[in-house]
Structure 1
Amino acid sequence: MFGEKYVPSQVNPILTHRHLGKDYPVYAVGHADMVETQNGDWWMVSLGKRRGINGECYIGRETFLSPVEIEEFKEVDGKESICLIVNPGGGIVPIKHKRPDLLWSPVAGTIELDDFITDKLNLEWVFLRTPMTDWYSLDNGKLVIDLRPEVASEFVNPSMIVRRVKEHKFGAFAKMKFSGNGDNEEAGIILYRSSQYYAMIMRRGEFIVVSSVMNGVKKDLATEQVSSDEVVLHIESDGRDITFFCGDKKQVKFDCSVPLEIISDKYQRSGGYGGTMMGMYATSNGKPSDNKVEFDCFSLKY
């Protein structure tokens, strides 16, 4: 219906948030596409990002939906053309609006708790770059991960299995069994935005260690000694700061926090479109190892 010749619209840009400022909760909109419903209505799907409490975004681009009207007009030379009116009367991606008149076909929600009882990883789990070897397995309700020399701060495929973080406020915990064979060996939970910016709570030797990596510089922020090989690690975000907990028989809150800003868009060279990931990470930090870590479960909720 749009014809063979592209003609610049008289109302360009048909969709922009550049004039809304930092108070509007959705920004960085673009990369749109069009879809027609069975009733002949047109809708636009576009990408955008939601701001957090302080105006920063800590999660990746998401898909937004806007109604579109197609209007005809005549050009100066008399030729007929059309233009697209996105969200008539608004011209922006609305926060809430009536959904398209389509059959309700909900999809299964994302899992909160994964106890690894299946023979394959749930499809929500992803890797940092493509694994070229088999360094993990599912065995009798356990996710077993090999410790390898690769680390999260390098452009490699580390022993990292993560899920996408979809909200600015979240809580996650993992139950694992691990005994390190040296201070170079560690395993636990990682909150990862890029090779230069992430936070971790890891078992290292007899200690649980909270660390942050800011602009590529790693700092250990707090430690807690534990006696059991089986521990529960926990991370919480209130939308401003990240707090950490651990315990074998009881939960211990670490006397430190990491500003959520560490994973904000402003530190990401590519604009932060990829978003934040969280999950399980194990490494022998550059040294060969035949050690492994067992994860009994992992939970991520909002």
Structure 2
Amino acid sequence: MTGAALPDWRDSFPWPGPETHKHARGRLGVVSGRATQTGAARLAARAGLRIGAGLVRILCPPDAAAVIAPAIEAIMLTPFGSPESLAYEARGMDAVVIGPAAGVGDTTAINLRALAATGAALVIDADGLTSFEHFPDELFEVLDRDDVLTPHEGEFRRLFPGTLEAGREAAAAEAARRAGAVVVLKGPATVIAAPDGRLAVNGNGTPWLATAGSGDVLAGMIGGLVAQRMDSFDAARAAAWLHAEAARDFGPGLTAEDLPGRLPALLGALYQRAD
């Protein structure tokens, strides 16, 4: 593990206790795209389960169910046929990830608004962000301070045009204030900003994360920690650090599928050092 000091978010990490059961560890939903676009949701769901969420459920369009079902085991699967059905099936979820390969357009935007009404904390990535490119204020209106946006620079520029001219830290801080939610501006030095003014820069980035699907894994990790009721800003910081450590630990040849499997060793080392 990089460095000798324990990360300062470690004290709020949601370690289970002797009486903990799966529902107490948090319930995470992940919205999948259509049948040809299911891999991203499966990556996010696996990451959420590995980081400790007690129950993870993929919510998918009906045509995707037959594709996803043979590829999962401990992860649950529920099809939905409308935004109302999605909101109904997401009832009781502590957090929901929406965006990875969800499809860009009105369908994803409407699904996101339906989920916002459920009270679950939202982790919004990829297509969930780009679907609001032309009307970002409509996204911001449905967010609250527990929600998390996870844009790379291209997605960030679409939602917050012109802000990056002031630098990444200032831009992330302004974006979090404007959105009223936590913003994770991904990059070699990922910047995490909260709407209350808290700001952090993740210092252990690695080029091995420059691979397709790594952002989906990060979204699932954040969602898994938020589902366990970890403060969203701390959850984003913890996930970004663990995500980079997992990639650094694996090294050359890393693919996104490798990342969730590196988490148990990292979490075990962190837990032992916390004792």
The structure whose residues are more often strand, as a share, is: 1
Greater helix content = 2
**TM-score when scaled to structure 1?**
0.24
Q: Which has the larger radius of gyration?
A: 1
